[in-house]
A and B are shown apart, each in its own frame.
Chain A
Amino acid sequence: MAVVKEFTKGFWDVLPPFRLVLGLCPVLAVTTSAENGAGMGLATTFVLVCSNVLVSLLRKIIPSKVRIAAYIVIIASFVVMVELLMQAYSYPLYQALGIFIPLIVVNCIILGRAEAFAGKNGVAASAADGLGIGLGFTISLFVLGGIREIIGNGTFLGLHVLGTGYEPFTFMVRAPGAFVSLGVMLALINWISARLEARKRRNAS
């Protein structure tokens, strides 16, 4: 039961990057299309699960003074693996994500979970935590990428969904649109959670 809770919290309670505002650089940079967003999310998920498991396994061996350095080496090793795997099996995506694949290493979400969760909890719980947060991150990136792709390019997953007469609002796929759309989405999530909170309080009283 506890494991299920660790898994599901990543989808709302600590949904990155909205509830857990970390790791914004890849979110802003790669969400120009739904496909890129999902690809980045899955690569991050893989690294997050693997590093969480390994950190959790080694948590009694790593001296606490050098733990951050040890975590970074663990994370960097998995990032190199992802980099080589993507280069071999999905080259177009590797090229689209570019510099942001090696930069998964400094994604604060991964180091944050190693420090805040995996370093203190068992293997099963850590794996569930990594998988839940990773998939939450993937869904967020997919949705944000989808919105930006539809408005900014008139397509979704490469298909023309708004018809050929649609004039793309290219602002959305350019740099400024990334910031504005993430900000608006963050506000939307704040609004929804405020409503849920209010309803819960009404029901309780």
Chain B
Amino acid sequence: MSFGDYMLFIVGAILVNNILLAKFLGNCPFLGVSRRMDTATGMSMAVIFVMTMAGMITWLVQYYVLEPLSIEYLQTIAFILVIAALVQLVEIVMQKSLPALYRALGIFLPLITTNCAVLGVAIINIKEEYNFLDTVIFSFASAVGYSLALILFAGIRERFVLARIPKVFDGTAIGLVTAGFLALAFSGFAGLVGGH
């Protein structure tokens, strides 16, 4: 791919095929941590970090461990274990060497193991037969797209306190409807990279 192709690829992953709003991955933490801006930012940073690392490592595991041994059917188990171990490792390393960052991201790291966006991106990388460079770029761009949607959504959600919301819609229900409109806004980017 040329440089221009890579730019389109990145814009596509961030805006057009936004992993959260168009592919529905990672919705539980999306609704869970988006009530306040600071938790949303913390979660975003943790996701960018872990998703990129996990994308690279699962790619290596797939092509240097699972395929030579022809045990591809163990992909799901292998990937989830790699991600869980990675999250644990990142947590320990960060606690020792980067205590400031650890305090900021601390509580979000264990939550990421069950963030299906991380496993989802790892599986998409393999399914689309991306090479290593594509995998790194796609994982990072997807994570940036996730963060963008999460932070925008938290910004909107913080203003809910000022709004008069019908009682039955209070909480998650209005959150989902708002996410729908955000998804609608994002689908406006579809024409940007030559349709879906």
- B179 and A179: CB pair below 8 A? yes
A-B CB contacts (within 8 Å), total count: 117
Q: What CA separation (Å) do A177 and B21 show in the bound complex? A: 11
- A25 sits at the interface (CB 8 A): yes
Q: What CA separation (Å) do A93 and B88 show in the bound complex? A: 35
- A187 sits at the interface (CB 8 A): yes
- B95 sits at the interface (CB 8 A): no
- A99 and B31: CB pair below 8 A? no
- A21 and B31: CB pair below 8 A? yes
Which of A52-60, A105-113, A197-205 is near enough to bind chain B? A105-113
Are A182 and B81 CB-contacts (below 8 A) given A22-B28, A175-B183? no
Give min CB distance, B122 to chain A, whole Å.
Answer: 10
Q: Total interface residues on B, using CB and 8 Å?
A: 44
Query: A14-35 interface mask toward B, CB cutoff 8 Å, 1 = contact, 0 = none?
Result: 0000000111111011000000
Partner of A174, one of B81, B120, B177, B187: B187
Are A177 and B124 CB-contacts (below 8 A) given A79-B76, A84-B73? no
- B183 and A183: CB pair below 8 A? no
- A103 sits at the interface (CB 8 A): yes
Name the interface residues of A41-66: CB closer than 8 Å to any CB of B.
Answer: none
Main secondary structure of the interface of A (DSSP, over half): helix
Closest to B117 in A: A25
Which residue numbers of A lie inside 8 Å of B, CB to CB?
A: 21-26, 28-29, 69, 72-73, 76-77, 79-80, 83-84, 99, 102-103, 105-108, 111, 174-180, 182-184, 186-188, 190-191, 194
Which residue numbers of B lie inside 8 Å of A, CB to CB?
A: 21-28, 31, 73-77, 80-81, 84, 113-116, 119-120, 123-124, 127, 166-170, 172-181, 183-184, 187
Q: Show 24 residue pairs from A and B whose CB-CB distance is below 8 angstroms, ordered by the A residue.
A: A21-B31, A24-B28, A24-B31, A28-B24, A77-B77, A80-B77, A83-B76, A84-B73, A103-B123, A106-B119, A176-B183, A176-B187, A178-B183, A179-B176, A180-B176, A183-B175, A183-B177, A183-B178, A183-B179, A184-B173, A184-B177, A187-B173, A190-B173, A194-B167
Listed from nearest, the 6 A-B pairs whose CB atoms lie closest are: A183-B176, A179-B180, A180-B180, A183-B177, A29-B24, A176-B184
